[in-house]
């Protein structure tokens, strides 16, 4: 597939790298010569100019491209590029920042009026992810299995965790919960052949039900989230949330949480506070500095369960999280502008650091990489792993074969199999059956190779 990427900012560069890793041909349009120089090491066609210019788009080969992905910093430029691209026969994807274009509360959608096949809101991708993380306060990351009942969760091993030093097989998990894989130093490990759990390991669990979250926490010695299943959805103990920053992300997180939580939104800018007050219904909006000790005391912010730092300043976000911990808030979550800083944030004491740019890149690549045999793809931001759930059909080439004979690329492994609503670790001699849902844990650069295992062989069998 030939893809034209408009914009060589962080998102554009990472999208281009992801497409190259999957074997696609890529052209990148960018008006900044300095940014284009950063692409010299990549096997891409670079075109200097505005992505809103038909001449520039033609120079990039849009007339023969299969897809145009517009991720410049300007919504208007992205829209115009998609209009031109669509007129040339391309499929179109655009990142749009303004909430005016995408239906309120939606992460993405089709905008026929602008000839955009998929419009993606980076702010809503981020806000939606943050709100889901807050439902599992002791867990680091989570994603649902395709049936909507089970969970794939990631648990970070801290210094004081009593499970550090123990073998994974010695952890007595409740029935219906299992360790799918272990992520260590950027590598994915099979828990059945792993050394003792180490500090900073990420343990990936598959749970049959949300009701297993609390006992799974207890099995690992993690302070219990005091949560229970309410109305078919797991509700954690996060009763009060403080959000620093009345940005689009901060306001959207408040909107998603205010019906079920006490939400306090703090921002020093009176205009942003006024805008947030008009948009939000139940959220308490306070004009002030989230790093101000007197504000914490006067407004009783220290009794909140979590602080979400969502300003446009990574430095301010880090400072507000660290000060919040000193003032009694147990957990902190921060957005960070540069994805490379996420590790630093967590090293200095921020519980969860999320990069909106990284999340929108994952969302776009996941959309492009979708394969019919994969029903669910979950990106775990903490470890960087991908959980790919494959629905086994009658025609899949591996039906009837033993799981021990399925060879996957290096950097991937079968973490579990869901059969009859129950997750288990398949034995070497267990046969693949129609209806099985195979959860493959993999590193991001293995995604295309793993997809080929399940799709290429399937097509080859059909030609015989």
**What span, in angstroms and rounded, lies between the C-alpha atoms of 463 and 337?**
48
Report the 3 state secondary structure along 122-155: HHHHHHHHHHHHHCCCCCCEEEECCCCCCEEEEE
Report the 3 state secondary structure along 22-63: CCCEEEEEECCHHHHHCCCCCCCEEEECCCCCHHHHHHCCHH
**What span, in angstroms and rounded, lies between the C-alpha atoms of 95 and 79?**
9
Token pair, residue 409, equals 């690329």
Q: Quickly tell me which residue has 């911990």 as its tokens.
A: 325
pLDDT digits (tens, 9 = 90+) for 27-64: 999 999 999 998 989 999 999 999 999 999 999 999 99
What is the DSSP track for 331-351? EEEEE-SSGGGHHHHHHTT-S
**What span, in angstroms and rounded, lies between the C-alpha atoms of 383 and 79?**
34
Percentage of the chain modeled with pLDDT above 70: 88
Token pair, residue 234, equals 């797991």
Token pair, residue 119, equals 């419009």
**What span, in angstroms and rounded, lies between the C-alpha atoms of 203 and 209?**
17
Q: Which residues of the chain carry a pLDDT beneath 50?
A: 137, 139, 225-237, 371-375, 456-464
Q: pTM for the complete prediction?
A: 0.72
61 φ/ψ angles, rounded to the nearest 5 degrees:
85, 30
Q: Quick one: pLDDT at residue 239?
A: 77
Q: Quick one: pLDDT at residue 229?
A: 31
Whole-number mean pLDDT of the chain? 85
Task: Name all contacts of 430-433 with Cβ < 8 Å and 24+ positions apart.
Answer: 430/402, 430/403, 431/400, 431/401, 431/402, 431/403, 432/392, 432/396, 432/398, 432/399, 432/400, 432/401, 432/402, 432/403, 432/406, 433/392, 433/399
Q: Quick one: pLDDT at residue 395?
A: 81
């Amino acid at each position: 597939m030939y893809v034209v990427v408009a914009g060589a900012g962080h998102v554009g560069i990472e999208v281009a790298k992801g497409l190259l890793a999957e074997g696609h041909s890529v052209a990148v349009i960018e008006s900044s010569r300095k940014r284009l120089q950063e692409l010299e090491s990549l096997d891409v066609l670079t075109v200097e100019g505005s992505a809103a210019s038909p001449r520039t788009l033609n120079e990039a080969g849009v007339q023969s491209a299969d897809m145009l992905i517009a991720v410049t910093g300007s919504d208007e430029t992205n829209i115009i590029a998609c209009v031109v691209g669509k007129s040339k026969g391309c499929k179109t994807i655009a990142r749009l920042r303004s909430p005016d274009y995408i239906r309120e509360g939606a992460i993405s959608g089709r905008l026929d009026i602008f000839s955009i096949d998929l419009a993606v809101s980076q702010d809503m991708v981020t806000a939606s992810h943050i709100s889901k993380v807050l439902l599992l306060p002791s867990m680091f990351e989570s994603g649902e299995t395709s049936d909507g009942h089970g969970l794939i969760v990631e648990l970070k091993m801290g210094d004081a965790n009593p499970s550090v030093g123990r073998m994974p097989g010695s952890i007595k998990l409740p029935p219906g919960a299992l360790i799918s894989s272990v992520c260590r130093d950027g590598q994915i490990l099979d828990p059945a052949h792993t050394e003792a759990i180490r500090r900073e390991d990420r343990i990936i669990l598959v749970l049959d039900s949300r009701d297993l979250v609390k006992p799974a926490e207890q099995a690992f010695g993690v302070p219990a989230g005091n949560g229970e299943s309410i109305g078919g959805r797991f509700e954690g103990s996060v009763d009060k949330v403080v959000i620093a920053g009345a940005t689009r992300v901060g306001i959207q997180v408040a909107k998603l949480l205010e019906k079920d939580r006490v939400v306090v939104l703090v921002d020093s800018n009176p205009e942003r506070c006024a805008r947030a007050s008009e948009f939000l219904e139940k959220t308490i909006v306070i004009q002030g500095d989230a790093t101000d000790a007197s504000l914490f005391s006067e407004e009783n912010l220290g009794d909140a369960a979590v602080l979400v730092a969502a300003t446009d300043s990574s430095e301010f976000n880090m400072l507000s999280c660290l000060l919040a911990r000193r003032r009694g808030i147990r957990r902190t979550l921060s957005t960070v502008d540069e994805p490379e800083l996420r590790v630093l944030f967590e090293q200095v004491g921020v519980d969860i650091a999320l990069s909106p740019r990284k999340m929108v890149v994952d969302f776009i690549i996941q959309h492009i990489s979708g394969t019919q045999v994969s029903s669910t793809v979950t990106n775990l931001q903490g470890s960087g792993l991908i959980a790919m759930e494959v629905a086994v059909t009658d025609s899949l080439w591996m039906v009837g074969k033993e799981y021990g004979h399925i060879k996957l690329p290096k950097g991937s492994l079968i973490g579990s199999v869901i059969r009859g609503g129950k997750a288990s670790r398949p034995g070497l001699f267990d046969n693949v059956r129609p209806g099985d849902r195979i959860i493959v844990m993999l590193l991001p650069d293995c995604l295309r190779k793993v997809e080929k295992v399940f799709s290429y062989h399937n097509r080859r069998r059909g030609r015989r």
